[in-house]
Amino acid sequence: MKRRRIGSSGLPPAVFLFAALGLLVLIVPLLGLLIQAPWSNLWNLLSTDQTLTAIRVSLIVSLAAAAGSLIVGVPLAFVLARVEFPGKSILRTLVTVPLVLPPVVTGVALLYGFGNRSIFGRFDLPFSTTGAVLAATMVAMPFLILSVEGALRSVDPRFEQTAASLGARPLYRWWHVGLPMIRPSIVAGTVLAWARALGEFGATITFAGNVPGVTRTLPLEVSTAYTNDPDRAVALSLLMLAVSLIVLISLRDRWVPRR
Amino acid sequence: MIRRVAILLTLLVVAAACSNDRTTVDVFAASSLTDAFSQLETRFEQANPTVDIRLILGGSDTLRRQIDDGADADVFAPADESLLDGLTVDGGVINARPYATNQVEMIANSGVRTDGRDLFDWTQEGVVVARCEEGVPCGMATDVLLAEIPVRLGVVTFEPNVREVLTKVRLGEADAGFVYRTDRLSAGDDVVDLGITSASASVRLAVAALSDRTEAIAFADFVLSDEAAAVLQDLGFGRP
């Protein structure tokens, strides 16, 4: 089938039209934020005690959630990729549910699983920093699991089998052969999980509340500031946008291979 | 496949457009009015079958911001009349009319032991008190109450609206909280009244039609009617 072509791309004009529309949807909101931001007052708005406290809480919560995801998410990804057992497809679906579940639903579920009135016991987690970490971990870990599991599928298991035939014990060959082969995916998955944890809002405010200095992370600070001080909310939004850009640029080689 | 999806989507859109031949009136109401306005909606729709009242509930501040940003609200009923200040419709100043009052009180989850406990001290380890965030009407009234009655608070969670405060206390996730009298009454046995309140920690509710559509004005009028007053009184609202 022959079509008219634009330039050397070989794409029909309609594709460019819809691509432009897609670009508008993605870029117009960010442009609006950037253009109307209180640039001259930005530093004052960002250097208040409230903001610094929220940054501290956000760093603690997101780094702990990324570390937690790493420690339990990588082993889980290995089990899902390498072990065959009945009900595995159901388990894999369950593991990735928080990816698509509205975060507020995740928060309600957390209340019923780990709340003060949970049928599993009293954990004293709501309204604590640990609770915020748990909420962030639940929404962030699936990103890491997907990244690592995908990499494991494309790795040849014979390297580890060879290590085994040479006498390497299971833990040794997992640590020295299995893990290093997928290191880039583990790093990328952890960074993605960290970024998702940093942006987490719905599950956190539902499960861990909005306690200043304890569970009020940057996104919660943005939402709180928006009712009293919209300029500060915009300034905080710019901060989060800058962090997101840094994360994406640092991952660029992974997701957008250079030519 | 794509064609089938397209046909299905078209049918859905058409069905959605056809299914409703009633006039829709968008009522933006404070979350503290959830129960009250749901009842008023039912009564109004029974009396006016051609009108479909659509309740948009949320924090009064959020709703006001949405209206300022161009949301098409036909009627606005915030938790305090101050949020109607400065609103105009088609260049004309709106007619904000007060119809009820409400008062912030301190409540506790009914599982919290209140006998032999210092009701003014909530600073113990593991005790959480929920309140509305500063700047929203229930938050401002809570600040007035706390300035008058010095209740000592430890861990405080600032919720975006009063209903979230109520839910957290009802579920027992928070031990105590500051909500409106009407919220306390709506929660029944789940919560107990601690008797910590003040007449100055009150809000005056007002309603205004933001469009000149007859149905919008009719609903705003209905909120001020004797029939509505009886509903509101049953729920615990005061008269202005």
Q: What is the ipTM of this complex?
A: 0.72
Q: Looking at the partner chain, which of A126, A127, A227 has a beta carbon nearest the beta carbon of B136?
A: A227
Structure token digits, residue A96: 């990735």
Q: Which residues contact B119 (CB under 8 A, 6 or more apart)?
A: B106, B151, B194, B195, B196
CA–CA dist B194, B172 (Å, integer): 15
Q: Looking at the partner chain, which of B128, B134, B172 has a beta carbon nearest the beta carbon of A228?
A: B134
Instruction: Give the number of A-B residue pairs with CB atoms closer than 8 Å.
Output: 58
Residue in B173, B175, B190 to test binding to A, most A beta-carbons within 10 Å:
B173
Cβ(B55)–Cβ(B37) below 8 Å: yes
Output the DSSP codes for B1-29: -HHHHHHHHHHHHHHHHHS--SEEEEEEE
In this complex, do A209 and B168 lie within 8 Å of one another by their Cβ atoms?
A: yes
Chain A (23-82) residues lying within 8 Å, Cβ to Cβ, of chain B: none
| Residue of A186, A207, A203 whose CA lies nearest to A76 | A186
* Distance to chain A for B61, nearest Cα, Å: 6
**Chain B residues near residue A115 by CB distance under 8 angstroms:** 171, 173
The single residue listed with the structure tokens 């209903």 is B163
Range B8-16, long-range pairs (CB < 8 A, 24+ positions):
none
Structure token digits, residue B230: 């009886």
Residue type, A198: L
Cβ(B182)–Cβ(B101) below 8 Å: no
Asked if the C-beta of A227 comes within 8 angstroms of chain B's C-beta atoms, the answer is: yes
**Chain A residues near residue B62 by CB distance under 8 angstroms:** 227
Q: What value, to the nearest 5°, has the Cα angle with vertex B56 and ends B50 and B62?
A: 150
Helix (H, G, I), strand (E, B) or coil at B200: strand
Predicted pLDDT of residue A59? 94
In this complex, do A209 and B62 lie within 8 Å of one another by their Cβ atoms?
A: no
Helix (H, G, I), strand (E, B) or coil at B186: helix
Chain B (158-217) residues lying within 8 Å, Cβ to Cβ, of chain A: 158-160, 168, 171-174
Chain B (97-126) residues lying within 8 Å, Cβ to Cβ, of chain A: 126
DSSP classification of residue B237 = P
The single residue listed with the structure tokens 């208040």 is A48
**Chain A residues near residue B156 by CB distance under 8 angstroms:** 211-212
In this complex, do B157 and A211 lie within 8 Å of one another by their Cβ atoms?
A: yes
In this complex, do A209 and B159 lie within 8 Å of one another by their Cβ atoms?
A: yes
Asked if the C-beta of A113 comes within 8 angstroms of chain B's C-beta atoms, the answer is: no
Output the DSSP codes for B122-163: E-STT-EEEEEPTTSHHHHHHHHHHHHS--EESEEEEESSHH
Asked if the C-beta of B70 comes within 8 angstroms of chain A's C-beta atoms, the answer is: no
Structure token digits, residue B81: 């009349």
Instruction: Report residues of chain B scoring pLDDT below 50.
Output: none
Output the DSSP codes for B93-124: EP--EEEEEEEEEEEEETTS--TTS-TTEE-S
Chain A (120-149) residues lying within 8 Å, Cβ to Cβ, of chain B: 124, 126-127
Q: Looking at the partner chain, which of B59, B61, B173 has a beta carbon nearest the beta carbon of A115?
A: B173
Structure token digits, residue A1: 């089938």
Q: Which residues contact A12 (CB under 8 A, 6 or more apart)?
A: A3, A4, A5, A6
E strand or H helix that includes residue A223? helix A218-228
Predicted pLDDT of residue A259? 43
Asked if the C-beta of B59 comes within 8 angstroms of chain A's C-beta atoms, the answer is: yes
What is the distance in angstroms between the CA of the first residue and the CA of the last residue of chain B? 61
pTM for the model: 0.79
Per-residue pLDDT of chain A (259 residues), as tens digits, is 455 545 677 888 899 999 999 999 999 999 999 998 889 889 998 888 989 999 999 999 999 999 999 999 999 999 999 899 999 999 999 998 999 999 999 999 998 899 877 888 778 888 899 999 999 999 999 999 999 999 998 888 888 888 888 888 888 888 998 899 999 899 999 999 999 999 999 999 999 989 989 999 999 999 888 877 888 999 999 999 998 888 888 877 665 444 4
Asked if the C-beta of B136 comes within 8 angstroms of chain A's C-beta atoms, the answer is: yes
- Dump pLDDT digits (tens) for B190-206: 999 999 999 999 999 99
